[in-house]
């Protein structure tokens, strides 16, 4: 009788603990799901979701499943802040993984800091996110930075037979920082370069004609653009109509992932084949590792697309780092997880990435290449496509 | 003397207990409601009481937010000074803009208020060095609440609150004070004159009233209080962004004012509360909140143009009449 | 935050000025199409229709949809553009006849807010039907090339738009001056009560005006699809631009709208060059200046 009673009491006491263990780990993901940024944001969210689904199928982490709560931030810093705060206050998320634009990232980073919640940014590139004066224990980035992107680009452009270069970028943190990084570095490695023009349309511009005309009037020999996402689609349509790409003999590089499959796919025959671009991932990347090829097969199946998006990988990697850090810390407490993330190395589909302690930044580079039209695919691809290791560009 | 329930004080006291309810989210929502209530009531001074329909009220909201934000973040000025300065600068701009606006009527007035608001927005968006441009200014510091903690040593009930909750109490007190001041203004001879002007501006001119000066005064007061609301919002929102001044913000607050009822003083505040609460409820089920809002607006316009307060008043009147007949 | 290095002192050459003014003209003609409908509705119904930008957006989406159905044949674009404009015109007529008419006589504010409610409802309807990802259309075959004029590359499609604008303007002006319907519209803009007293069915006239205006707005949206993205939010962005145009030119004045659009296009175009950070500011400053100095616009008449 006593034994039965003790068993019962033990079971009852264990129940809340068991319930605790079953409670899912909630991760909030504010990311643009509408508008021109959705071209990148939507697949990123799906990449994150795939990782979560796969992990949960294996039992989750620390015996708990992960619940990913995705919300539309509309590529607007104000909205992202609001969404992030609601995720924290209303949904009680334990972690934040998300944001896309370099306006959203720093804004949400502040929210994460004040609420002491780990925030992993898989996409915003602006250096300001992890700059010394903005860094705090809870923000981490697994994306490239504007320094990495700008300098990688400078290395490529320095090899072109050009000296007169024009830049066009959105007038906000990302556009400003990546252009500056490019200009500063190329002037260092090729002093003969002259920046003949710089155009600064506002983020969200729909009519690039006046900017294009002003730029072409200075007769540049090469153009470095960081117009991204759906905006690049609009920009290049207008630029193509004005004969821009022919005028610079295709010495044009589209930063902000103009070489990504989703961009080339969505433009189809309108894509200015022959320009250079970059991308976080490419399903056609031949020299990739077995890990990558295996990932590509899985994401292709998950997205039901034989030519899967390149943005899924960033959402995937963001969640991967979070899960690995939770495992390493053996806890879902942000304090412990934030310490576990420092110096953490994860074998991601994009190679082994490490978050360095100095500025919570991972050594994430990107694929760069010149676009060509291959009969095999109904859209342009980058070939040859090279992964540029970012380590030498990171200060 | 008729038995009048002191709704204002009842709500005030009830609001004091929101943080004790538990979930931090309730404090967050209540804080939001308070600020928008002030914003909407300030607009109503212009729309409901003076009859001037402004499409650019968000300009003053934005000016107040940026001023206080910049002062507190970049110069480290204390909230005690930065807050009123936000309202003052907004009022100053309202004076300049209003001077030109009140010389116009109806649609031209509305268009000019819109133009000025878009000018403010354009400046906030592009003046990168001062306003942060597209990124805005994230991380506006909270006011220094050290004094509450020190006071808590003597008054224990004040202790143990988080910064967000302390800011909520501060907002509650400030908004309540502003609303009381506005109510005084509205009930004063000045306020009654505004109502006369709204009814019939020509008649007011005939009896010797300098209509323009009154309208300008209403414009300035309205803009000033909107600026105070903006100052609070910048801190509450943990960041100030250019779309604080964009015209769609002006339309949001106009809808709140209409929803609550332009004819009652606390109508807009009620509208703010209802709209924010409704938004929360709807957004958890569907992302098509604008569709719902638009439909509510249509229903309001066709069936309840007096807003909630108006519908309520109608109900009361019908009840009283029924009682009298019985 | 990076400060922008200033460009070298730049002496523009002729081909650049030509190219820039043409791009300003193109943008202006689109705005004219949209703003003319807005001006028409204001002139006759005395209502500022916020939903006009939404009709423009629906025109774009409808054109996209029809092209999906018809495929990419040589005439499919033109059929879609026309079809889209007609569809939007029909929608406008229905909205006016069954909803808007009930608000006549009520306060102006209510009519205004109703048009804003339409923005909210129709905007979300577009999201429901077509999703939130941006869409785009290609230029129609036949107009996909470019010509070199005065050293500048001018796409054929842009030329087409630049010529279409004045053509439509002249066509409408002619119709307003010479046809009976046109005369009635002009009369209604001046004095509706008398018109009603004279036995004209003013309500039917209003519906007709709304249908016509929506047709123009929808056509503008359909024709802009090869040049810009079809995306949620394009309605709220364009309506403010249309307001600026109509204010500068004169609310209710047809040629005023044309002039306003021209000015807007050129200020924006050359603003990018001469005062790049202030181009947005200068547009609204111009709008404010006109309202302060001459509220009824350059070619408008004071409201009675």
pLDDT tens-digit readout, A139-193: 999 999 999 999 999 999 999 999 999 999 999 999 999 999 999 999 999 999 9
Which one of C5, C15, C19, C220 would you mutate to disrupt binding with A, by most A Cβ within 10 Å of its Cβ? C19
Cis bond before residue C300 (omega within 30° of 0) = no
Domain span including residue C140: 9-293
Q: CB-based contact (8 Å) between A99 and chain B?
A: no
pLDDT at B1: 41
Residue B16, domain member (yes or no): no
Q: How far apart are CA A3 and CA A196, in angstroms?
A: 87
- Chains A, C: CB pairs < 8 Å: 113
Record: contact B107-C251, CB cut-off 8 A: yes
Residue C2 has pLDDT above 50, yes or no: no
pLDDT mean over B71-98: 94
Q: How far is B27 from chain A (nearest CA, A)?
A: 10
Cβ contacts of A162 within 8 Å, gap of 6 or more: A221, A222, A251
Residue A21 has pLDDT above 60, yes or no: no
Q: CB-based contact (8 Å) between A172 and chain C?
A: no
Closest CA to C30 of C228, C253, C174: C228
Record: contact B132-C296, CB cut-off 8 A: no
B182: its two tokens: 């506005």
Closest CA to A364 of A250, A278, A290, A251: A278
A269: its two tokens: 């025959």
Residue B12, domain member (yes or no): no
Which one of A75, A86, A107, A124 would you mutate to disrupt binding with B, by most B Cβ within 10 Å of its Cβ? A107
Residue C289, domain member (yes or no): yes
Q: Which of A107-111, B307-311, C17-21, C181-185 has maximum average pLDDT?
A: A107-111
- Count the neighbouring beta carbons within 10 Å of the beta carbon of residue C102: 12
Residue numbers of C between 76 and 95 with CB closer than 8 Å to B: none
Q: How far apart are CA C93 and CA C101, in angstroms?
A: 11
Look at residue C147 and give its three-state secondary structure.
Answer: strand
Residue B9, domain member (yes or no): no
Instruction: Give the CATH number of the domain where residue B43 resides.
Output: 1.10.3470
pLDDT at A87: 95
The pTM of this model reads: 0.90
Q: CB-based contact (8 Å) between A230 and chain C?
A: yes
pLDDT mean over B29-36: 96
Which one of A171, A200, A241, A243 would you mutate to disrupt binding with C, by most C Cβ within 10 Å of its Cβ? A241
Cβ contacts of C113 within 8 Å, gap of 6 or more: B254, B255, B258, B297, B301
- DSSP letters, C217-255, are HHHHHHHHTTTS-B-TTHHHHHHHHHHHHHHHH-TT-HH
C141: its two tokens: 């075959």
pLDDT at B295: 93
Residue C12 has pLDDT above 70, yes or no: no
Residue of C nearest to B117 (CA): C284
pLDDT at C100: 85
Q: How far apart are CA B119 and CA A173, in angstroms?
A: 22
pLDDT at B2: 44
Phi-psi region of C110 (alpha: psi -120 to 50; beta: other; left: phi over 0): alpha
pLDDT at C1: 36
At B97-125, the pLDDT tens digits run 999 999 998 889 999 999 999 999 999 99
pLDDT at A118: 96
Residue C88, domain member (yes or no): yes
Q: Find the range with the poorest average confidence among A108-112, B29-33, B318-322.
A: B318-322
Residue C45, domain member (yes or no): yes
Cβ contacts of B276 within 8 Å, gap of 6 or more: B29, B32, B33, B36
Record: contact A238-C27, CB cut-off 8 A: no
Residue B4, domain member (yes or no): no
Residue C1, domain member (yes or no): no
Q: How far is CA B103 from CA A6, B113, B214, C294, C304, in A?
A: 85, 12, 12, 12, 16
pLDDT at A10: 62
Q: How far apart are CA C263 and CA C149, in angstroms?
A: 23
Q: How far is C47 from chain B (nearest CA, A)?
A: 9
Total number of domains constituting chain C: 1
At C100-154, the pLDDT tens digits run 888 887 777 888 889 999 999 999 999 999 988 888 888 888 888 888 888 788 8
Q: How far apart are CA B225 and CA B219, in angstroms?
A: 10
Residue B94, domain member (yes or no): yes
* Dihedral of alpha carbons C144, C148, C150, C153, sign: positive
Q: How far apart are CA B254 and CA B171, in angstroms?
A: 22
Cβ contacts of B134 within 8 Å, gap of 6 or more: A77, A103, A170, A171, A172, A173, A202, A203, B125, B128, B242
Residue numbers of B between 13 and 72 with CB closer than 8 Å to A: 23-25, 28
Q: CB-based contact (8 Å) between C24 and chain A?
A: yes
Residue C304 has pLDDT above 70, yes or no: no
Q: Judge whether B268 and B256 are in contact, CB under 8 Å.
A: yes
pLDDT mean over B68-82: 92
pLDDT at A17: 53
pLDDT at C162: 92
A57: its two tokens: 């199928």
pLDDT at C194: 78
Write down the mean pLDDT value for chain B. 89
CA C144 to chain CA centroid, nearest Å = 23
β-partners of residue A31 are A72
Residue among B247, B301, B305 whose CB faces C240 most closely: B247
Residue C68, domain member (yes or no): yes
Residue B233 has pLDDT above 70, yes or no: yes
Instruction: Give the CATH number of the domain where residue C33 resides.
Output: 1.10.3470
Q: CB-based contact (8 Å) between B119 and chain C?
A: yes
β-partners of residue A382 are A371
pLDDT at B264: 87
Query: What confidence tier does A361 reach under pLDDT thresholds 50, 70, 90?
Result: very high
Specify the DSSP class assigned to residue B48: I
Residue C169, domain member (yes or no): yes
Q: How far apart are CA B115 and CA B123, in angstroms?
A: 12
pLDDT at C153: 85
Q: How far apart are CA A44 and CA A42, in angstroms?
A: 5
- Count the neighbouring beta carbons within 10 Å of the beta carbon of residue A233: 23
Record: contact A81-B237, CB cut-off 8 A: yes
What is the SS3 assignment for chain A?
Answer: CHHHHHHHHHHHHHHHHHHHHHCCEEEEEEECCCCCCHHHHHHHHHHHHHHHHHHHHCCCECCECEEEEEEECCCCHHHHHHHHHHHHHCCCCCEEECCCCCCHHHHHHHHHHHHCCCEEECCCCCHHHHCCCCCCCCEEECCCCHHHHHHHHHHHHHCCCCCEEEEECCCCHHHHHHHHHHHHHHHHHCCCCEEEEEECCCCCCCCCHHHHHHHHHCCCCEEEECCCHHHHHHHHHHHHHCCHHHHCCCCEEECCCCCCHHHHHHHHHHCCCCCEEEECCCCCCCCCCHHHHHHHHHHHHHHCCCCCCCCHHHHHHHHHHHHHHHHHHCCCCHHHHHHHHCCCEEEECCEEEEEECCCCEECCCEEEEEEEECCCCCCEEEEEEEEECCHHHCC
Look at residue B137 and give its three-state secondary structure.
Answer: strand
Look at residue B11 and give its three-state secondary structure.
Answer: helix
Q: Judge whether C256 and C39 are in contact, CB under 8 Å.
A: yes
Residue C5 has pLDDT above 50, yes or no: no
Query: What confidence tier does A18 reach under pLDDT thresholds 50, 70, 90?
Result: low
Q: CB-based contact (8 Å) between B10 and chain C?
A: no
ipTM of the prediction = 0.87
pLDDT at C30: 92
Q: Judge whether B303 and C117 are in contact, CB under 8 Å.
A: no
pLDDT at C8: 47
Q: How far apart are CA B58 and CA B117, in angstroms?
A: 7
pLDDT mean over A111-119: 94
Residue B27 has pLDDT above 90, yes or no: yes
Cβ contacts of A9 within 8 Å, gap of 6 or more: none
Residue B22 has pLDDT above 90, yes or no: no
pLDDT mean over B271-292: 90
End-to-end CA distance of chain C: 51
B234: its two tokens: 């910048």
- DSSP letters, C7-74, are PPP----HHHHHHHHHHHHHHHHHHHHHHHHHHHHHHHH----TTHHHHHHHHHHHHHHHHHHH-S-T
- Count the neighbouring beta carbons within 10 Å of the beta carbon of residue B9: 10
- Chains B, C: CB pairs < 8 Å: 112
Residue C212 has pLDDT above 80, yes or no: yes
Residue numbers of C between 15 and 44 with CB closer than 8 Å to B: 42
B282: its two tokens: 């709807």
Residue A41 has pLDDT above 80, yes or no: yes
* Burial grade of C143 (CB within 10 A; 0-12, 13-18, 19 or more): middle
Residue B5, domain member (yes or no): no
Q: Judge whether A394 and A361 are in contact, CB under 8 Å.
A: yes
Record: contact C116-B251, CB cut-off 8 A: yes
Buried b (16+ CB within 10 A) or exposed e, A285-315: beebeeebeebbebbbebbeeebbbbbbbbb
Residue C3 has pLDDT above 90, yes or no: no
Q: How far apart are CA B29 and CA C41, in angstroms?
A: 40
Which one of B36, B138, B280 would you mutate to disrupt binding with A, by most A Cβ within 10 Å of its Cβ? B138
Residue of A nearest to C7 (CA): A197
pLDDT at B224: 96
Q: How far apart are CA A112 and CA A247, in angstroms?
A: 47
Q: How far apart are CA C184 and CA A284, in angstroms?
A: 65
Q: How far is B309 from chain C (nearest CA, A)?
A: 17
Q: Judge whether A293 and A264 are in contact, CB under 8 Å.
A: no
Domain span including residue B150: 21-325
Q: Judge whether B220 and B47 are in contact, CB under 8 Å.
A: no
Q: Angle at which helices A209-217 and A229-241 pack, to 10 degrees?
A: 60
Q: How far apart are CA A174 and CA A128, in angstroms?
A: 9
Q: How far is CA B15 from CA A85, A243, A354, B270, C66, in A?
A: 21, 63, 49, 14, 54
At B249-262, the pLDDT tens digits run 998 999 999 889 88
Residue B324 has pLDDT above 70, yes or no: no
Residue A102 has pLDDT above 70, yes or no: yes
Cβ contacts of A380 within 8 Å, gap of 6 or more: A264, A271, A273, A371, A372, A373
β-partners of residue C33 are none
At C159-172, the pLDDT tens digits run 999 999 899 889 88
Residue numbers of B between 31 and 90 with CB closer than 8 Å to C: 47, 53
Specify the DSSP class assigned to residue B49: I
Q: For strand A25-31 and strand A66-72, is the pairing parallel, antiparallel, or unpaired? A: parallel
Gyration radius (Cα) of chain A, Å: 22
pLDDT mean over A345-359: 92
Q: Chain B partners of C287 at a C-beta cutoff of 8 Å? A: 111, 115, 118
Closest CA to C52 of C238, C267, C263, C270: C238
């Amino acid at each position: 009788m006593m034994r039965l009673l003790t068993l019962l009491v033990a079971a009852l006491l264990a129940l809340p603990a068991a319930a605790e263990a079953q409670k899912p780990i909630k991760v909030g993901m504010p990311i643009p799901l509408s508008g021109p940024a959705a071209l990148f944001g939507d697949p990123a969210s799906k990449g994150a979701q795939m990782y979560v689904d796969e992990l949960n199928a294996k039992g989750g982490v620390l015996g708990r499943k992960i619940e990913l709560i995705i919300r539309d931030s509309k590529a607007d810093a104000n909205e992202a802040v609001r969404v992030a705060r609601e995720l924290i206050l209303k949904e009680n998320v334990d972690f934040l993984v998300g944001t896309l634009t370099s306006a959203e990232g720093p804004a949400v980073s502040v929210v994460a800091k004040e609420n002491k919640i780990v925030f992993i940014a898989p996409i915003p590139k602006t250096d300001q996110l992890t700059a010394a004066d903005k860094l705090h224990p809870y923000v981490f980035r697994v994306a490239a930075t504007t320094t990495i992107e700008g300098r990688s680009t400078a290395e490529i452009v320095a090899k072109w037979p050009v000296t007169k270069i024009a830049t066009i970028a959105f007038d906000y943190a990302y556009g400003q920082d990546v252009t500056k990084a490019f200009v500063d570095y190329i002037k260092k490695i090729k002093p003969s370069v002259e920046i003949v023009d710089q155009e600064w349309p506002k983020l969200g511009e729909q009519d690039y004609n006046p900017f294009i005309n002003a730029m072409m009037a200075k007769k540049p020999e090469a153009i470095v653009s960081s117009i991204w996402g759906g905006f690049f689609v609009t920009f290049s349509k207008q630029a193509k109509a004005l004969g821009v790409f022919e005028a610079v003999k295709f010495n044009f590089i589209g930063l902000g992932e103009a070489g990504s499959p989703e961009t080339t796919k969505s433009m189809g025959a309108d894509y200015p084949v022959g320009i250079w671009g970059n991308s976080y991932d490419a399903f056609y990347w031949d020299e990739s590792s077995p890990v990558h090829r295996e990932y590509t097969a899985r994401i292709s199946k998950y997205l039901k697309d034989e030519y899967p998006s390149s943005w899924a990988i960033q959402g995937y990697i963001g969640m991967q780092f979070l899960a690995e850090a939770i495992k390493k810390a053996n806890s879902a407490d942000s304090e412990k997880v934030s310490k576990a993330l420092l110096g953490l190395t994860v074998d991601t589909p994009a190679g082994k990435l490490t978050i360095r302690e100095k500025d919570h930044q991972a050594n994430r580079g990107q694929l760069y290449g010149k676009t060509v039209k291959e009969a095999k695919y109904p859209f342009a691809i980058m070939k040859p496509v090279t992964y540029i290791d970012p380590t030498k560009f990171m200060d | 003397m008729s038995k009048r329930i002191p709704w204002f004080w009842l709500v005030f006291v009830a609001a004091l207990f929101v943080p004790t309810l538990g979930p931090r989210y309730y404090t967050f929502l209540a804080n939001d409601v308070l600020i928008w209530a002030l914003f909407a009531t300030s607009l109503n001074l212009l729309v409901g009481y003076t009859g001037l329909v402004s499409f650019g009220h968000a300009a003053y909201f934005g000016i107040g937010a940026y001023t206080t934000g910049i002062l507190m973040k970049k110069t480290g000025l204390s909230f005690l000074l930065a807050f009123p300065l936000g309202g003052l600068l907004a009022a100053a701009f309202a004076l300049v803009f209003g001077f030109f606006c009140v010389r116009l009527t109806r649609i031209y007035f509305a268009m000019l208020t819109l133009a000025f608001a878009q000018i403010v927005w354009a400046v906030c968006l592009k003046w990168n060095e001062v306003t942060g441009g597209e990124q805005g200014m994230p991380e506006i510091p909270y006011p220094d609440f050290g004094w509450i903690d020190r006071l808590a040593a003597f008054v224990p009930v004040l202790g143990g609150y988080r910064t967000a909750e302390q800011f909520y109490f501060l907002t509650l007190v400030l908004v309540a004070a502003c609303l009381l001041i506005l109510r005084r203004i509205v009930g004063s001879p000045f306020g009654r004159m505004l109502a006369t002007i709204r009814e019939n501006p020509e008649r007011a001119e005939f009896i010797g009233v300098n209509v323009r000066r009154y309208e300008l005064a209403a414009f300035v007061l309205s803009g000033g209080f909107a600026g105070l609301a903006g100052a609070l919002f910048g801190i509450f929102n943990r960041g100030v962004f250019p779309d604080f001044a964009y015209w769609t913000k002006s339309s949001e607050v106009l809808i709140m004012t209409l929803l609550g009822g332009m004819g009652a003083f606390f109508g807009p505040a009620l509208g703010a509360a209802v709209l924010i609460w409704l938004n929360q409820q709807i957004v958890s089920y569907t992302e098509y909140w604008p569709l719902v809002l638009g439909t509510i607006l249509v229903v309001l316009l066709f069936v309840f143009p007096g807003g909630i307060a108006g519908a309520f008043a109608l109900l009361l009147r019908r009840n009283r009449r029924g009682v009298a007949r019985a | 935050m990076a400060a922008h290095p200033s460009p070298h002192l730049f002496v523009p050459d002729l081909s650049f000025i030509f190219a820039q003014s043409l791009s300003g003209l193109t943008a202006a003609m689109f705005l004219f199409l949209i703003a003319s409908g807005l001006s028409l509705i204001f002139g006759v119904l005395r209502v500022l229709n916020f939903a006009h930008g939404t009709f423009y957006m629906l025109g774009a989406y409808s054109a996209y949809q029809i092209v999906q159905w018809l495929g990419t044949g040589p005439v499919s674009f033109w059929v879609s553009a026309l079809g889209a404009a007609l569809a939007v015109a029909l929608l406008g007529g229905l909205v006016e006849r069954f909803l808007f008419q009930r608000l006549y006589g009520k306060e102006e504010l209510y009519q205004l807010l109703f048009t804003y409610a339409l923005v909210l409802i129709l905007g979300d309807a577009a999201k429901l039907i077509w999703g939130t990802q941006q869409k785009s259309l290609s230029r129609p075959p036949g107009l996909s090339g470019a010509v070199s004029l005065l050293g500048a590359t001018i796409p054929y499609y842009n030329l087409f738009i630049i010529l279409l604008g004045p053509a439509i303007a002249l066509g409408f002006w002619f119709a307003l001056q010479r046809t009976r319907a046109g005369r009635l519209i002009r009369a209604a803009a001046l004095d509706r009560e008398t018109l009603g007293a004279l036995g004209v069915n003013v309500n039917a006239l209003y519906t007709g005006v709304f249908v016509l205006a929506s047709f123009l707005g929808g056509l503008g949206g359909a024709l802009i699809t090869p040049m810009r993205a079809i995306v949620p939010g394009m309605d709220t962005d364009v309506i403010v631009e249309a307001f600026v145009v109509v204010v500068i030119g004169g609310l209710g004045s047809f040629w005023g709208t044309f002039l306003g659009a021209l000015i807007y296009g050129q200020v924006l175009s050359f603003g990018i060059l001469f005062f790049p950070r202030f181009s947005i500011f200068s547009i609204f400053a111009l709008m404010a200046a006109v309202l302060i100095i001459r509220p009824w616009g350059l070619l408008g008449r004071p409201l009675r």
